[in-house]
Amino acid sequence: MKQKGCKIKPEWMQTMIARNRKTLVVCRKYHVQIHNGKPIAE
């Protein structure tokens, strides 16, 4: 979960860190956005 050179962590990563989790259940739409490097808009 630690990325070198990444100063501001994405919202999904902050959520995982706050919950002390390595996995985060999301719908298919958000899954694709995360893999494309796009922020999740809620």
The answer to whether residue 1 scores a pLDDT higher than 60 is no
Q: Alpha-carbon distance 9 to 5, whole Å?
A: 10
pTM for the structure as a whole? 0.48
The tokens describing 24, both together, are 């985060």
**27-36 pLDDT, tens per residue?**
898 888 888 8
For residues 11 and 23, the answer to whether their CB atoms sit within 8 Å is: no
Q: Tokens at residue 26, please?
A: 């999301």
34: left (phi over 0), alpha (psi -120 to 50) or beta: alpha
pLDDT at 8: 79
Quick: pLDDT tens for 3-24: 566 677 788 888 888 888 778 7
